[in-house]
Structure 1
Amino acid sequence: MILLLPSTNLSVPSPAERARSVLARPNPATVTSSDRSLHLTGPVCHTTPQGEVTLLVPDRHMVLAEIGAGTLEATLEFTDTAPVDLRDSTRSLLWINGTLRVPPRSEARNLALAVSDQDPDERLLDLGHGRTMVTLAPDLVVHSDHDGCHLITPAEFAGAPADPFGRWEGPWLRHLEDSHPDVLWGLVAHCPEPLPQGRPRPLGVDRHGLRLRLEGPEGDHDVRICFRRPARTPDDVAHEVQQMAGLLH
């Protein structure tokens, strides 16, 4: 990953923050135990203040039968995929090893309320209406992306914030790709350093900057363009991007 310098801000999300942000997005997951692997399509994931991961899965999903009335030692693998159709859509991988269980209904409701206090999400309303909660108590967290493979302790994972634009990212990047290709080319044209040849595609965004992928005949090149200061709102993100593309003066 190339870090560009349109400003003096070089902040990037920590590995623990990136791991937490993967869970906020509707990424596919695989539950692997000693006996079998089960696929989860876009499970609804949250993290409690204590670092326990909650997942809402369909009531009749096979993972519920696998856990049964007890617990299950398993590894959850999340594949963080780009929200636009890239040649290589995988951005990162997240593995969480720990203990799975199905909490009683009353405990599940309390966990959902505790999560919604910090992260209001209307999808939590599906609990008890076609969805059942499964919890995972992490023992080990590993996040792998362009920056390498990072071992994250449960305490680091629990204490890290997810990026505030995690759920907003997908629709916004698709809108940027479909409706504003001029902005993407403007970002390339106004970069302070020469970039590899290729079509600019939106790869990711967080409060610290925007990531582009340049798809060229010689391969793909990922570029990170840092914001001048961390964005606090979606309007901040749009303003930073437009200014770096030379659309604002």
Structure 2
Amino acid sequence: MTGQTPTQTPAQTPTTAERIRSTCARATGAVVAIDGLDPTPTPLVHLLCDGSAALTVPASSPLTAVAATTEAAGVQAVLELTDYAPLPLREPVRSLVWIRGTLRTVPDREVPALLDLIAASNPHPALLEVNSTRGQDVLMRLEIESVVAADSTGAESISVAGLLGALPDPFCAMESAWLQHLDAEHRDVVDRLASRLPGALRNGHVRPLGLDRYGVALRVESADGDHDVRLPFPHPVDDMTGLSRAIRILMGCPFLNGLRARRV
């Protein structure tokens, strides 16, 4: 998280709560920790409307055994989410999220209904491992008490109400595949976007870093360090048609900037 992102106006960048929701939706680097134990990986993190988070952990983990002994009282835990860049960069971590609260095992009688509730909006493969014949994973609930997010610009605390009031970015599920495809197959597009960078940064190695409804982020890896730069869209976009148009405008396509082909 050593990149340097220029200050943007609120309309040009996701709110911290939106970024956290997107990170939760991806949950590619999530672990849950309690005192005295090594962090335990959790493949699923799902924010519930009551302000708690459902997560799965291996049935064989020491964490599961400790949580079982605490029963209804629960145990204090910290859920850490690491948002990794989709591409292999020198500094791959884009942001970190820490969610602190009380962790409890979901009672067996409540598991089927909660699994159905989660699957209705997030049919994650990890749900199939809960209470399966192989008994690999256990469903737990974290009663959230505090949320903190940190990136290259600093750290910020978010209220549970603020988190519940935000939505994941509409492109968060396809961001990784889209950026990987852009980097591997469309370097001409990356080069056109890089032409928008300040002159001092154009000599570095430019890679796609992020995508959201407000714009594209580029990482410049150079001899003097790493630099992150956001290229904001003219307006927020919500679908692939709007995204394609916004990218073409950033690339400098004249016809999408209001000009029309001359009739002959």
**What range describes the TM-score normalised by the shorter chain of this pair?**
0.7 to 0.9
The alpha-carbon distance between structure 1 residues 125 and 164, as it changes in their structure 2 partners (threshold 3 A), is farther
The alignment partner of 1:10 has SS state of helix
**Structure 1: runs of 5 or more not aligned:** none
How many Å separate the matches in 2 of 1:234 and 1:105? Answer: 41
Q: Secondary structure at the match of 2:143?
A: strand
Larger RCO, structure (CA 8 Å, separation 6 or more): 1
How far 1:64 sits from its partner (Å)?
Answer: 1.3
Q: CA deviation at 1:105?
A: 3.1
Which range moves more in the overlay, 229-238 or 160-169? 229-238
Alignment of 1:2 with 2:6, yes or no, is yes
SS in 1 for 2:131: coil
Percent of pairs identical after alignment?
34
Question: AA paired with 1:196?
Answer: L
The residue matched to 1:46 in structure 2 has which SS? strand
**Structure 1 position 246 matched with structure 2 position 248:** no
Aligned partners of 2:27 and 2:44 also within 8 Å? yes
| 1:220 match: secondary structure | strand
Preserved CA contact (<8 Å) 1:82 1:89: yes
Amino acid at match of 1:35: G
Query: Letter of the aligned partner of 1:157 in structure 2?
Result: L
Q: Which of 119, 127, 131 matches 1:128?
A: 131
Distance 2:123 2:7 in 1: 33
Task: List 4+ stretches of structure 1 deviating above 6 A.
Answer: none
Alpha carbons 1:212, 1:222 under 8 Å: kept: yes
Change (3 A) 1:149 1:62: same
Q: Distance in 2 between matches of 1:120 and 1:212?
A: 29
The Cα of 1:115 is off from its aligned counterpart by 3.1
Of 163-172 and 86-95, the range deviating more from structure 2: 163-172
Provide the secondary structure at the position in 2 that maps to 1:99.
strand
- SS of residue matched to 2:231: strand
Q: Deviations along 1:157-196, whole A, 9 cap, x unmatched?
A: 222212122221111111111111111111012x275451
Deviations 1:211-241 (A, max 9, x none): 1101112211101111122121234323322
| Secondary structure of 2:201 counterpart | coil
Number of the residue aligned with 1:102 = 105
| Equivalent residue pairs, number | 243
Correspondence for 1:182 among 185, 188, 191: 188
Q: CA deviation at 1:131?
A: 3.2
Find the counterpart in structure 1 of residue 25 from structure 2.
24
- Is the 1:48–1:114 Cα contact (8 Å) retained in structure 2? no
How many angstroms does 1:125 deviate by? 4.0
Distance 1:101 1:9, change over 3 A: closer
CA distance in 1: counterparts of 2:253 and 2:186, whole angstroms: 12
| Contact 1:24–1:46 (8 Å) recurs in 2 | yes
Aligned to 2:169: 163
Matches within 5 A, 1:89-238: 89-117=92-120, 119-123=121-125, 124-129=127-132, 130-189=136-195, 191=196, 194=199, 196-197=201-202, 198-238=204-244
C-alpha separation between the residues in 2 aligned to 1:235 and 1:63?
45
In structure 2, distance between residues paired with 1:112 and 1:193: 49
Identify the residue that residue 84 of structure 1 maps to in structure 2.
Answer: 87
Q: Give the Cα–Cα distance (whole angstroms) in 2 for the partners of residues 141 and 206 of structure 1.
A: 22
| Equivalent residues of 2:37, 2:63 under 8 A apart | no
Determine which structure has more spread, i.e. the larger CA radius of gyration. 2
TM-score (norm 1): 0.87
Are the aligned partners of 1:82 and 1:90 in contact in 2 as well (CA < 8 Å)? Answer: yes
RMSD of aligned residue pairs (Cα, Å): 2.3
Higher mean Cα deviation, 28-37 or 76-85? 28-37
SS class of match (2:86): coil
Partner Cα distance (2:10, 2:21) in 1: 22
Shift of 1:59: 3.3
Are 1:53 and 1:136, in contact at CA under 8 Å, matched by a contact in 2?
Answer: yes
